[in-house]
Amino acid sequence: MNRQERQEAIQTHPGVRRLKVSRCCEGWKSGTPLKAIYSWGPGRSNPPVGLERYRCKNRAWWRFTPLKRKAWGFTAPQNYCWSHLIHNGVYGDMDEEARTVRWMKRKGWME
């Protein structure tokens, strides 16, 4: 299966939609340090550095709508590049992976 075929196939996933116009990817680079999110230093005196410099720089052509999450509450649709769509969206956690496996079985791609 080549890239074009994979992208056409993933468009039929229940939580994925292809965007007509690209946007900024809402994913984060791997290796984002915790000091970007949390206060750090002696006595947590330094404020978080901020996440903007750790954002993905690729263009997002995919909109992913996740299942309703139990613990962390990310239910808003996210715009992702291809890599983040696969890693954070379609196979982002066990619930999403189970949904993807059910979808692939319905399509006849898995037994």
Provide the pLDDT for residue 21: 96
User: How many CB atoms sit inside 10 A of residue 65's CB?
Assistant: 14
The domain limits of the chain are 3-28+57-107
How far apart (Å, rounded) are the C-alpha atoms in residues 23 and 17?
13
- pLDDT at position 31: 86
Q: How far apart are CA 103 and CA 110, in angstroms?
A: 9
The torsion angles phi and psi of 23, rounded to 5 degrees, stand at -135, 180
> Which pLDDT tens digits describe the chain residue by residue (111 residues)?
788 888 888 999 999 999 999 999 998 888 889 888 899 889 999 999 888 889 999 999 999 998 876 555 667 889 999 999 999 889 988 888 999 999 999 988 877
Q: In the 8-state DSSP scheme, what is residue 79?
A: E
For residue 87, the 8-state DSSP code is: I
